[in-house]
Amino acid sequence: MKGRAGRSLLALLVCGLALSCGRSERRSGKATPSAVPPKAPAAALPAVETADVATRARRPDGGPRPVLWIGLDGLDWEILDRLSRAGKMPHWTRLVSTGWSSRITSFVPILSPIVWTTVATGVSPMEHGVLDFQEVDPKSGQKVPISGRSRRVPAVWNLASSAGKKVGVVGWWATHPAEEVNGFFLTDHASPILYDRLPLSGVAWPAALEGGVAQVIARDGRVPPAELSRFIDVPAGEVEQALASGAGMENPIVALSRIVGATRVSHRAARDLYDRNLPDLTMLYLEGTDEIGHVFGSDAPPRLACTPEADFARYGRAVDEYYAVIDRMLGQWMRRAGEDHATLIVQSDHGFKWGADRPCERSSLNWSTAAFWHRLDGVFAAWGERVKPGKSASNLSMFDPAPTVLALLGLAADRRMPGRPVSAAFSDLKPPPRADVASKVQVRRVEAQEMSSAQASEYAKKLLALGYLSGSETRPLAPPGGELPGRTEGAWNNLGLYERESERDLPAARAAFLKALELRPDYHSPMFNLAVLERTAGKDAQAQEWLFRSLAAGHADPPGTLRQWADDYERRGKTREARALAERALREIPANESVAREAALARFRSRDCAGALDALRTFETATRDVETLNALGLFHTCLGEREEAERLFQRSLAMNASQPGVVESLRVVRGGAPPRS
């Protein structure tokens, strides 16, 4: 960017973030990084989603038609349909009823940095190289937040910018430090969800926008305690205490404040910069639609049986109110699409479980189980210029949006992009020409301050609180050397999952899992993935060896894993193997009550009632688990020992009276026929 035109655009960009254009934020020609945002103004300002600008500059009629591309993490049709029926998302209802929509299918592993980089580049994780939430600093071995430096190929915004299109990018995953584009660029480090109190150095292009980002964070990133009463039913004093406590994302009130604040920061920055610069391509990513599910998904209506009524009363409307915020923001983007003859695309990277399929037994915030709350099928919708109303009968692929957007912009797609433009959604969309365009585009990034160990640790804590990492995944590795970031053991494990599940390339998957273990020999996840791989290949003996190695190394939920493994044997008619698996588990994990219970039930299913009782009776005295008591009662009933069975069922009901099946079992042992083994 040179000369008068560059200076003019820079001035517009700075003003676009509501800075005072008469005040300089620069010394010696360089922007001053803002590590600590200034204090918010005393006067309360209306929330950005409720206060759109009255008038704005508009693109002239007859010119190129722009694309507004909004990524909403974890957006799912189930909650959108529920809220639309209830009249709580009127803008979304209008968008879908007058636009085009479809389901879009993701891939394993369903991790945001991986999938959103695929969406932005149009190529597979194997090619783009972003494979984890973290990367390895080549000099220190410290794990730091995943950055754009791990990305090996240009994104759609690079291709458009190099072709002379004006672009604007805000908040997209794995984009720090900012990239030099023909337009503006704000990285994911501007989001207070994961990067609160971390340096803003390198967050923006042009660099002078850093000061404006700090002001937006100060104004929109802090949600006043009184305003949170719209989202939750918690006493004001408790809300104020939580926000002042210094707690992190593990506290639901703090998490809610950061989610709402981060959403507003990204939306305002993108909206105001768009109005000032009118790019040909705008790409905005909002993370909160996924995080609100991880924090409050179990509290959302309809109430789950496992959700305490007190929690439902406190947090039951948080999700609905947050989605109402999103809906108002979508209304503002629909306004701009209509006024500027733009095509608006809204999509997610995966879905989220909002109904009866929400897994009570698996926490949405635990690193080992959070992914079970995701669905492979997400949302894709288009509205505005060139869009034909309708719905697709078949699912799209995550590889389809990139060539679609390039086609809408009249640009060529790279030969390596496997996706196809969604021509059914548009009135005049021609397939883009294919060429070797990516290799000719150079990605340039601004200079950024290196993150300290303490700052990287703060980021890791937030990932831990949201269930993205386990504690062991934050440990440093040996420095890989060179200039580019190294891959974490998690990255190699994720690559193996993609190779195994999406590419069906078992040798490549095995090599990736073994590379993960080379970096960290006690890493249970690739051990388990190797077990699944060997089982897929029909090698049951090798599969069980890796399975028990993973359990010994700390794989989550041993009893649940063993139960699923045994169920798989049963489905394939391998009853003997299922029993042998249970017996081995009993020998190798003798102190685990849940494992012993699964082994005992396996014996019971084999009509060995005495053996079942023998496997579990050692836990009878100390147990506080009704499932153990109920199983013991079942075994005693099977042996005709009705008094013992009655005592155990009564003890179970004393711990939890709401067990209709146990009530019926108690009736049986008091006078009915014993259950058949």
272 located within any domain: yes
Does residue 610 surpass a pLDDT of 80? yes
621 located within any domain: no
- Degrees (nearest 5) of the Cα angle 217, 221, 224? 135
Buried residues in 66-78 as b, exposed as e (16+ CB within 10 A):
bbbbbbbbbbbbe
CA–CA separation, 371 vs 356, rounded Å? 17
Does residue 338 surpass a pLDDT of 60? yes
CATH number of 178's domain: 3.40.720.10
179 located within any domain: yes
Read off the pLDDT of each residue in 210-222 and give the average, rounded to a whole number: 92
pLDDT of residue 465: 66
Q: What is the 3-state secondary structure (H, E, C) of 299-348?
A: HCCCCCCCCCHHHHHHHCCHHHHHHHHHHHHHHHHHHHHHHCCCEEEEEC
Higher pLDDT, 614 or 45: 614
pLDDT of residue 560: 85
Structure tokens at 478: 């040996």
Q: 35: which DSSP letter?
A: S
84 located within any domain: yes
pLDDT of residue 474: 76
Read off the pLDDT of each residue in 600-621 and give the average, rounded to a whole number: 93
Q: 387: which DSSP letter?
A: B
Name the burial class of residue 191, with classes exposed (0-12), middle (13-18) and buried (19+) by CB atoms within 10 angstroms of its CB: buried
Lowest mean pLDDT among 97-111, 357-371, 610-624: 357-371
482 located within any domain: no
157 located within any domain: yes
Give 406-445 pLDDT, tens digit per residue: 999 999 999 999 999 999 999 989 888 999 999 999 999 9
149 located within any domain: yes
pTM comes to 0.87
Does residue 39 surpass a pLDDT of 60? no
Our count of domains for the chain comes to 1
CA–CA separation, 606 vs 620, rounded Å? 22
What percent of the chain lies above the pLDDT cut of 90? 74
Domain of 102, in residue numbers: 67-439
227 located within any domain: yes
pLDDT of residue 468: 62
Higher pLDDT, 401 or 555: 401
